């Protein structure tokens, strides 16, 4: 289990992970733990991005499929048959990053954990509108440099918006 | 003083119990004003509350309790005049409200004390009762000149002037004096004081005084004695020479003797206050204390009950649940390995397991009475507020129910009761016109049948105004006027339960503040319950709630739908078959399963759950679920697994629209299994009118 | 005073809340150990005989056996018993009665931490 990093002044610790071949980062402070994906149970009639539910230390938590949530799959280029097969083989080796969103533990399904990195806050830059990204601006907190390449720092709190809950309630009434 | 979380919990639970006690006793007193027993109990409860609130730093609340304690103490002796009885009761009820509001605040972490002004009002209304009992202290015995000479002659005697200043916070000055006097008189004799003895003993001093003292102890020894006494801010001990003592006696003590004849007499008697038979201070108190003692002695000779935090019970339940899961797992393992003796021994564990389960269940159960009796007060107050007269009859209050569920149904019930008084009952004038008793009667009947608690609320009011509902339906353009006319009671009720649908035109000051009937309905359903409404014009309304009496461990049938695991409560299953596609008959859009001469509607669970993608297994199974005598359906799943006891965990529907889930449970491999609420699925299917021809076909 | 010789206190009070607070304050002093808690007089007397504490704190109104009677009985067993009354507001007559029966001293609820420390300091730590 990863302990919350002691943030020295001016340093942010981030987890860098990969989803659908693209690398993202989230603030380590939001993450509670990274675990190997276990048995995720499907949930009837739910959002497409909800992968299912998972027993996290006795708590039932929702698992978000980041690829679907960030709509990455739409941008994926053509996959060969081999690619698909390989992906399926790997699917059991995926990871869950347990994050705390609005005091609720939620699992983010990611393909691969790349690294944990400490960056200086001045290395975090706000995203310029010109910057071309594959994902919606609202999920982006900023851009950091990792190994000389820019990575998108995701805004964890925005990944599950209240709007989604409101939407559900609307659908109900 | 900072209070720890645990202490706070304790404070809340003790205060809660006491407040409940106060309420119970107030009702007993109201029923029988001449009975001194409730007063005694109330006295005791307020006393303890006084201490508790004081400890929590709620000084004014503590004072408030003190006033009540005093009042009740007095009222035990003196019966209250009949015309004042009502005021007295009102005062008591008001006190209850205040205590509750304090407790509520404390629960939310707010330690604001009660309003000073309010305290003054209460105090004023008590003023007539509020004369402090006299407290008498007499321990200074001025010495006569003769005696003094004798003492002076004894060279061992030393004389002192002792100045003492009490702490300004000292409240029981007289007791403080008593303790100081006693300590000094133990090793010497106080022979005079400034202010003079009588005044000092009566507490006629501000904060400091001087004692004239003789003893064989030296200065340091006396200092040490005084040092052990609390609430003394400062003390100065100055030795007096014999000459000084003589001069002081001549100047002050002698004059005092000459001046007052009476005090002499007093001084002749060593300890008058204690021996005086008429001054009933101590005697009276002793009596009341021993009476309190007696009343408690009856039922506390043996400790037959212990208090357990409900959270601890929940924990116990959860751990036991885990144990059950593990046991199931071992069981499965053993059956596969097939050692008969081990299997037999293991099976023997079933009985104690069942019994432990039963006991834990029962531990979690409380009588509905604990919550329902509060409704008497509620009904009384709400009725008063709207100028109506109402009473409530409670029946079946000894029915037991899971405490958690009882908590959950409390607010829906309160809403229903308020509704009944506000909308159901007529004003006393209207009732008179209708030849009804001016006082409306609500009835709350509780019973337990087949794992469900039935709570029936009836009123003898005007009934639901269905005409108004119809008007509203037309107004909101759900149906035309002709169509609305044809709607039956059940359908109209359904409209009434729709969010935002209300027959009320004006502002609803009582019900509107709480939750609407729609939320009541939702809440009950959330609990896995159900409810029905039946109403007759001018006869009244009857609302029946059905809630499970507990939700914890369930015997479940595990099944697979597509590739996913689900559980179904076995109690709902009538029979399980291999699914024979040839038995399916298609009628319109729907499928029916032919079983003997019956046609039973079919629900394909994969369709229903939106899980079709994985393809169906070639050998499917059909599970016959029976809701009641008339309604049953055939659920089709892909695979049937074992039956087992599962621990039901509540399930939050944050991201799912699928509400037909009873709960969830954790499997022995750590994965989650959702428990399907098959009865609810049947209801949903019926509501959607998917099986509109159901009734005709089954008949 | 050596650490091994902690002063031993018995708390007599029917409200667990009060007992907890007293215990909490006392245990933090380092030289006092709460050796027993009694919710009523009878239990208090029983524990007194068993534990022979250095000091007893006594609530006055308790079920089963009140403070006054308890003080009397404890002093019968041990005339040197140090009993400090912890009384509620407005019980002056009762507290006086307790003092007359032989209670060493008294404090009132609500007490502050300092007051309890003062009691321990003045009465126990000789």
Percentage of residues in chain A having pLDDT higher than 90: 1
Closest in B4, B7, B175 to C99, CB measured: B175
Residues B574-594, mean pLDDT to the nearest whole number: 85
Specify the pLDDT at position B634.
92
Provide the shortest C-alpha distance from residue B405 to chain A (in Å): 21
CA B119 to chain centre: 25
Contact, B249 vs B148, CB < 8 A? yes
pLDDT in tens, B301-342: 445 566 677 778 777 877 887 787 677 777 767 777 777 888
Number of structural domains found in chain C: 1
Coil, strand or helix at B325: helix
CA pair distance B425, B391, nearest whole angstrom: 11
C125 occurs within a structural domain: no
Q: How confident is the model at residue C35 (pLDDT cuts 50, 70, 90)?
A: very high
pLDDT computed for residue B129 by the predictor: 46
Q: Please give the Cα distance from A134 to A70 (Å, whole number).
A: 8
Task: Give the helix, strand, coil percentages of chain B, each rounded to 5.
Answer: 50, 20, 30
Weakest-pLDDT range from B164-178, B349-363, B499-513, B669-683: B499-513
Phi, psi angle pair for B604, to nearest 5°:
-85, 110
The answer to whether residues B57 and C110 touch, using CB atoms and an 8 Å cutoff, is: yes
pLDDT at res. C84: 95
Facing B655 at nearest CB: one of A42, A50, A54: A50
Greater confidence (A3 vs A94) lies with: A94
pLDDT for res C38: 93
What was the pLDDT predicted at B197? 84
Q: Indicate the SS3 state at residue B120.
A: helix
Per-residue pLDDT, B79:
58
Selected residue with higher pLDDT from A160 and B65: B65
Mean pLDDT, residues B96-119? 80
d(CA B555, CA B535): 37
CA C11 → CA B2, B67, B439, C5, C48, distances in Å?
A: 20, 27, 52, 19, 10
Q: Chain A residues with CB inside 8 Å of B669's CB? A: 39
Q: Residue C57: which domain range? A: 7-117
**Banded pLDDT at C78 (limits 50, 70, 90):** very high
Do A and C make contact via 3 or more CB pairs under 8 A? The reply is no
CB contact under 8 A, B656 and A60: no
Lowest mean pLDDT among A77-81, A125-129, B498-502, B627-631: A77-81
How many alpha carbons lie under 13 Å from residue B268 in its C-beta half-sphere?
6
pLDDT at B2 over 70: no
Q: B452-498, pLDDT tens digit by residue?
A: 688 999 999 888 888 888 888 888 778 888 888 888 888 888 777 77
**Token pair for B573:** 């299953």
Residue B656 has its nearest CB partner, among A44, A55, A104, at A44
Chains contacting A (3 or more CB pairs within 8 Å): B
Tokens 């008697």, residue located = B269
* Helix H or strand E segment including B74: helix B59-77
B6-30 pLDDT per residue, tens: 778 888 888 888 888 888 888 888 8
- Among B657, B660, B664, most A C-beta atoms within 10 A, so best to mutate, is B657
Is the per-residue pLDDT at B296 higher than 80? Answer: no
Average pLDDT in chain B: 77
Least confident segment among A30-44, B525-539, B641-655: B641-655
- What's the whole-number average pLDDT of chain A? 72
What is residue B340's predicted lDDT score, i.e. its pLDDT?
A: 80
Q: What is the pLDDT of residue B589?
A: 78
> Mean pLDDT lowest for which of A35-44, B35-44, B248-257, B546-555?
B546-555
For position B679, what pLDDT does the model report? 81
Look at B654 and A38 and tell me if their CB atoms are within 8 Å.
Answer: no
Quote the tokens at residue B16: 């809660």
Query: Per-residue pLDDT for B652 more than 70?
Result: no
If you count residue pairs, one on A and one on B, with CB atoms under 8 Å apart, how many are there?
65
Centroid of chain to Cα B199: 50
Interface of B with A (CB under 8 A): 499, 564-565, 608-611, 649, 651-652, 654-658, 661, 664, 666, 669-674
* Domains of chain A, CATH where assigned: 11-172 (2.40.50.180)
Å between B473 CA and nearest CA of chain A? 17
User: CA-to-CA distance for B210 and B200, rounded, in angstroms?
Assistant: 10
Q: Is the pLDDT of residue B294 over 50?
A: no
Section B222-230 average pLDDT = 87
- Burial (CB < 10 A; 0-12, 13-18, 19+), residue B292, is buried
Whether residue C124 lies inside any domain: the answer is no
* Residue C126 domain flag: no
Kindly tell me if the per-residue pLDDT of B269 is higher than 50: no
In a domain, C20, yes or no: yes
DSSP code for C113: H
Give the separation between CA B595 and CA B576, rounded to whole angstroms. 12
Contacts of C107 (CB under 8 A, 6+ apart): B230, C84, C85, C86, C87, C115, C116, C119
In a domain, C96, yes or no: yes
A38 closest CB neighbour out of B608, B654, B670: B670
Would you place residue A74 in the very low, low, confident or very high pLDDT band (cuts 50, 70, 90)? low
Q: Which of C15, C18, C93 sits opposite B135 (nearest CB)?
A: C93
List the Cα angle B107/B113/B119 in 5-degree steps.
130
Q: Is the pLDDT of residue C53 over 60?
A: yes
Q: Quickly tell me which residue has 């105090």 as its tokens.
A: B123
Task: Let me know how long chain A is.
Answer: 173
Distance CA B61, CA B69 (A): 12
Average pLDDT rounded to a whole number, residues B571-594: 85
Q: Residue B28: its pLDDT value, please?
A: 84
**Partners of residue C11 on adjacent β-strands:** C37, C57
pLDDT band at B668 (very low <50, low <70, confident <90, very high): low
| pLDDT single digits (tens) A94-136 | 888 888 776 678 889 998 888 777 777 777 776 665 555 656 6
B318-336 burial, b at 16+ Cβ within 10 Å, e below that, comes to: eebbeebbebbeebeebee
* Separate counts of helices (H) and strands (E) for chain A: 4, 10
Global confidence as pTM: 0.39
- Tokens of residue A97, six digits: 């990053």
B287 compared with B6, residue with greater pLDDT:
B6
Rounded to whole angstroms, the Cα distance separating B663 from B679 reads 13
- pLDDT confidence of residue B562: 82
* Pick among A36, A37, A39, A42 to test the B interface (most B CBs inside 10 A): A42
Contact (Cβ atoms closer than 8 angstroms) between residue C45 and residue C89: no
Helix (H, G, I), strand (E, B) or coil at B557: strand
Q: What is the 3-state secondary structure (H, E, C) of B562-582?
A: CCEEEEEEHHHEEEEEECCHH
Q: How far apart are CA B623 and CA B638, in angstroms?
A: 11
How far CA B330 is from CA of B327, B334, B347, in Å, comes to 5, 6, 11
Residue C45 is assigned to a structural domain of this protein: yes
Q: Which residue has the higher pLDDT, B673 or B297?
A: B673
Best of A39, A41, A44 to mutate (most B CBs within 10 Å, chain B): A44
Q: Rg of chain A's alpha carbons, rounded to an integer? A: 16
What average pLDDT does range C7-34 have in this prediction? 87
Band of pLDDT at residue B699, cut at 50, 70 and 90: very low
Distance CA B396, CA B367 (A): 9
Examine chains A and B and say if they touch (3+ CB pairs below 8 A): yes
Domain containing C76 — which CATH number? 3.40.50.2300
pLDDT higher than threshold 60 for residue B669: yes
Grouping H, G, I as helix, E, B as strand and the rest as coil, residue A113 is strand
Contact A90, A67 (CB under 8 A): no
Rounded to 5°, the CA angle C32-C38-C41 comes to 125
Look at residue A135 in the predicted model and tell me its pLDDT. 64
Biggest alpha carbon distance in chain A? Answer: 50
pLDDT over 80 (residue B358): no
Decide: B469 and B418 in contact? Cβ < 8 Å: no
Q: Above 80 in pLDDT, residue B158? A: yes
- Among the listed residues B335, B210, B646, B48, the one whose alpha carbon sits nearest the alpha carbon of residue C60: B48
pLDDT computed for residue B275 by the predictor? 36
Q: Is there a contact between B177 and B136 (Cβ–Cβ < 8 Å)?
A: no
Per-residue pLDDT for C51 more than 70?
Answer: yes
Residue B549 pLDDT grade (very low, low, confident, very high; cuts 50, 70, 90): low
Q: Long-range CB contacts (< 8 A, 24+ apart) of A160-163?
A: A160/A64, A160/A101, A160/A102, A160/A106, A162/A102
CB C75 within 8 Å of CB C83: yes
Closest-CA distance, B131 to chain C, in angstroms, reads: 11
């Amino acid at each position: 289990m990863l302990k919350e990093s002691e943030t020295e002044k001016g340093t942010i610790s981030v987890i860098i992970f990969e989803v659908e071949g693209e690398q993202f980062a989230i603030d380590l402070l939001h993450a509670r733990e990274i675990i190997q994906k276990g048995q995720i149970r499907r949930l009837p009639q739910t959002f497409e991005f909800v992968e299912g539910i998972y027993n996290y230390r006795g708590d039932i938590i929702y698992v978000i499929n980041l690829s679907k949530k960030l709509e990455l799959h739409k941008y994926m280029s053509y996959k060969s048959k081999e690619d698909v097969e390989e992906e399926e083989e790997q699917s059991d080796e995926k990871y869950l990053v347990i994050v705390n969103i609005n005091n609720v533990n939620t699992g983010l399904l990611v393909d691969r954990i790349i690294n944990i990195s400490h960056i200086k806050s001045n290395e975090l830059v706000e995203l310029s509108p010109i910057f071309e990204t594959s994902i919606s601006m609202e999920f982006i907190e900023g851009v950091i440099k990792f190994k000389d390449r820019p990575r998108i720092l995701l805004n964890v709190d925005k990944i599950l918006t209240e709007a989604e809950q409101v939407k559900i309630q609307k659908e109900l009434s | 003083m900072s209070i720890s979380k645990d202490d706070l919990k304790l404070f809340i639970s003790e205060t809660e119990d006491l407040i409940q006690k106060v309420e119970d006793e107030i009702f007993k007193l109201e029923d029988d004003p001449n009975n001194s027993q409730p007063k005694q109990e109330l006295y005791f409860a307020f006393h303890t509350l006084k201490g508790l609130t004081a400890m929590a730093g709620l000084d004014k609340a503590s004072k408030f309790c003190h006033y009540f304690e005093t009042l009740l103490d007095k009222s035990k002796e003196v019966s209250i005049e009949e015309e004042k009885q009502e005021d007295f009761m009102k005062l008591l009820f008001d006190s209850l409200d205040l205590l509750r509001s304090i407790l509520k605040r404390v629960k939310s972490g707010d330690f604001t004390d009660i309003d000073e002004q309010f305290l003054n009002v209460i105090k004023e209304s008590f003023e007539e009762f509020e004369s402090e009992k006299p407290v008498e202290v007499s321990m200074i015995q001025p010495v006569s000149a003769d005696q003094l000479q004798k003492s002076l002659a004894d060279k061992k005697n030393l004389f002192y002037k002792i100045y003492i200043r009490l702490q300004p916070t000292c409240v029981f000055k007289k007791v403080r004096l008593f303790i100081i006097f006693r300590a000094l008189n133990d090793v010497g004799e106080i022979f005079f004081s400034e202010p003079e003895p009588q005044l000092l003993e009566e507490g006629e001093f501000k904060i400091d005084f001087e004692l004239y003292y003789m003893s064989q102890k030296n200065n340091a020894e006396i200092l040490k004695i005084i040092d052990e006494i609390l609430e003394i801010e400062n003390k100065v001990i100055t030795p007096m020479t014999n000459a000084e003592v003589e001069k002081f006696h001549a100047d002050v003590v002698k004059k005092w003797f000459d001046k007052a004849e009476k005090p002499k007499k007093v001084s002749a008697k060593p300890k008058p206050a204690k021996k005086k038979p008429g001054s009933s201070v101590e005697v009276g108190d002793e009596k009341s204390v021993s009476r309190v003692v007696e009343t408690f002695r009856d039922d506390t000779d043996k400790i037959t009950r212990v208090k357990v935090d409900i959270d601890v019970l929940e924990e116990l339940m959860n751990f036991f649940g885990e144990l059950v899961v593990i046991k199931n797992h071992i069981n499965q393992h053993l059956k596969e390995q097939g050692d008969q003796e081990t299997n037999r021994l293991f099976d023997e564990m079933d009985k104690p397991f069942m019994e432990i389960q039963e006991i834990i269940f029962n531990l979690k159960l409380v009588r509905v009475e604990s919550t329902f009796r509060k409704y008497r007060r509620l009904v009384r107050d709400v009725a008063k507020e709207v100028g109506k007269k109402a009473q409530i009859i409670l029946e079946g209050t000894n029915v037991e129910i899971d405490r958690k569920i009882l908590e959950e149904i409390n607010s829906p019930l309160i809403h229903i009761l308020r509704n009944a008084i506000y909308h159901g009952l007529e004003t006393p004038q209207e009732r008179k016109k209708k030849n009804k008793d001016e006082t409306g009667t609500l009835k709350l009947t509780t019973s337990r049948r087949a794992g469900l608690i039935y709570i029936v609320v009836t009123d003898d009011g005007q009934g639901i105004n269905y005409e108004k509902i119809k008007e509203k339906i037309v107004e909101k353009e759900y149906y035309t006027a002709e169509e609305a006319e044809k709607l039956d009671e059940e359908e109209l009720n359904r409209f009434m339960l729709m969010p935002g649908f209300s027959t009320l035109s004006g502002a609803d000051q009582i019900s509107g503040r709480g939750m609407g009937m729609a939320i009541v309905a939702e809440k009950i359903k959330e609990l896995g319950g159900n409810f029905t409404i039946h109403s007759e014009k001018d006869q009244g309304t009857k609302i029946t709630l059905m809630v499970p009496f507990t939700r914890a461990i369930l015997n479940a049938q595990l099944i697979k739908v597509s590739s996913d695991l689900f559980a179904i409560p076995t109690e709902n299953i009538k029979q399980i078959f291999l699914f024979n596609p040839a038995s399916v008959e298609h009628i319109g859009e729907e499928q029916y399963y032919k079983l003997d001469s019956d046609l039973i509607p079919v629900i394909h669970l994969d369709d229903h759950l939106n899980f079709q993608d994985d393809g169906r297994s070639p050998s499917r199974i059909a599970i016959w679920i029976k809701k009641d005598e008339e309604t049953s359906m055939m659920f089709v799943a892909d695979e049937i697994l074992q039956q087992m006891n599962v621990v039901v965990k509540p399930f939050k529907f944050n991201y799912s629209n699928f509400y037909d889930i009873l709960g969830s449970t954790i499997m022995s491999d750590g994965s989650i299994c959702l428990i399907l609420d098959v009865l609810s699925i049947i209801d949903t299917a019926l509501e959607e009118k998917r099986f509109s021809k159901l009734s005709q076909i089954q008949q | 005073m050596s650490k091994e010789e902690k002063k031993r206190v018995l708390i007599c009070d029917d409200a667990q809340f009060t007992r907890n607070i007293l215990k909490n304050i006392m245990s933090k002093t380092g030289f006092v150990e709460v050796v027993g808690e009694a919710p009523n007089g009878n239990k208090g007397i029983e524990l007194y005989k068993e534990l022979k504490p250095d000091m007893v704190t006594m609530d006055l109104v308790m079920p089963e056996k009140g403070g006054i009677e308890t003080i009397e009985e404890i002093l019968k067993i041990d005339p040197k018993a140090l009993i400090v009354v912890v009384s509620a507001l407005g019980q002056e007559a009762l507290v006086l009665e307790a003092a007359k029966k032989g209670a060493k001293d008294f404090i009132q609820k609500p007490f502050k931490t300092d007051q309890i420390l003062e009691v321990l300091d003045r009465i126990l730590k000789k």
